[in-house]
Structure 1
């Protein structure tokens, strides 16, 4: 009976974590460039059950009863880096990476492209959120004030003027003079990147920075000015998954309550026999 407690409890914890992930996806469904997470739910290893000393004779034989499942757990949450739809905003500070052909990694998954930005500590970070702005000093920044970086790793100064960006990420002022080239980095295994909030991603500790995609003939992309990439969260599917997760949670809760009532009756019966 105690094993039933553990199995039902594990199922409830799994679905609670799954629901938290789905809620986070929903909360960011309108965030430009947001990549939704997918859950990997697994079962604990099965255990073989056997009955010992079966039979009337002393030292009877052991008989195999069968396997027993000991519950489930959420193994990991993996970001889905599929391209999101682009939406026109006609704001010249908005930019969207439209990903073309890129190399495929050993797992058969396509890599992903990112804007390079500097976080508040000046460390290199990556983002797909191209909803940019120009700060009071004339530098191109993210909505949170992080500087967008060029192919030299420097901040991009546009001097609060109208500017244009071509498909290759080259930035020009009103006179057609080139100001900078927006750096784009390529991640062959984007699922290994670490989410830090505000749409920022970092490489794992002790790993090198992502290589640039500029000049790589195997990587094709366009930067569309006046557009933003929308979140790739599927609202209908996410809502459906949330309802399913809630039903599974409630089913495990019912099982747990049934075990609890059975245990209570067993304890009461033992008390009456004493």
Structure 2
């Protein structure tokens, strides 16, 4: 009788994770460079066989049907670049990511080019960290009247070269961990360099998130409905067990 609780509980946890993930997509629909995430679920019984099989095809037993969250997948397709007329906004037209030296000492990559200038005159991504140049040092622009050329060279308001924005290009099959503000963990040994060839930088422009808001809201409602159904099923199953216990005891 208790196996049913495990089945329903697995459904509750899976739908709760979907609800959280799709809600996060909706919240970040206006975050420049944000990438949509999806929950990948798998049957628990299949997961159990995969983990313990190791070439042995002997039946190891049966588990109650259940699903578990296997991982979060990220959709990396680029979205539209929109003109903002804000001089500190920079968009990447092509492949690659800006490289950020985080305030926590770690390095991140992002397609979010909504930059600003900190109190010391360095180009930064607000609340994240400073933008790195091809010399792997933060770029000091002095004030907000800087210019970014298509190849990534940054000129100060006085016309002096402040540095060249570094772009990191992870492999297509690289597993990137996504954080807030459209940040991803910088992969080790990923190629870095300046824009060039088919990749250019565009000042006074930002890349939108790739969140399809209509689809996300629909999936959010679907997850809410499924979560409610699992909750109702859990209550019904509990009532059935209570009645079974009381009737059996009265016999």
Confirm or deny a common fold (TM above 0.5). Answer: yes
Give me the whole-angstrom Cα distance separating, in 2, the residues matched to 1:251 and 1:179: 58
Residue correspondence of structure 1 range 93-132 to structure 2 within 5 A: 93-99=88-94, 113-132=96-115
Equivalent residue for 1:91? 86
For the Cα contact (< 8 Å) 1:79–1:191, is it kept in 2? no
Query: Aligned pair in 2 of structure 1 residues 5, 85: CA closer, same or farther (>3 Å)?
Result: same
Structure 1 residue 121: Cα displacement: 3.7
Cα distance in 2 for partners of 1:16, 1:188 equals: 32
- Give the length in aligned residue pairs: 237
Matched, 1:28 2:28: yes
Give the Cα separation in 1 of the matches to 2:174 and 2:192: 18
Provide the residue aligned with 2:18 in structure 1. Answer: 18
CA distance in 2, matches of 1:123, 1:16: 30
Query: Post-superposition shift, 1:175?
Result: 5.5
Alignment of 1:228-247 (within 5 A): 228-247=206-225
Larger helix proportion of the pair: 2
Q: TM-score, normalised by structure 1?
A: 0.78
Give, in angstroms, the shift of residue 184 of structure 1: 0.3
Match of 1:41 in 2: 41
TM-score (norm 2): 0.85
Larger % of strand: which?
1
Shift of 1:236: 0.6
Alpha-carbon distance in structure 2 between the residues aligned to 1:257 and 1:121: 45
Deviates more, 1:87-96 or 1:172-181: 172-181
Q: 4+ runs of 1 displaced by more than 6 Å?
A: none
Gaps of 5+ in 2: 47-61
Q: Which deviates more from structure 2 when the two are superposed, residues 120-129 or residues 21-30? A: 120-129
Q: Distance in 2 between matches of 1:171 and 1:245?
A: 46
1:268 maps to: 246
Cα 1:216–1:174, aligned 2, differ >3 Å: closer, same or farther?
Answer: closer
2:203 to 204, 207, 225: 225
SS at match of 1:20: helix
Match of 1:52 in 2: none
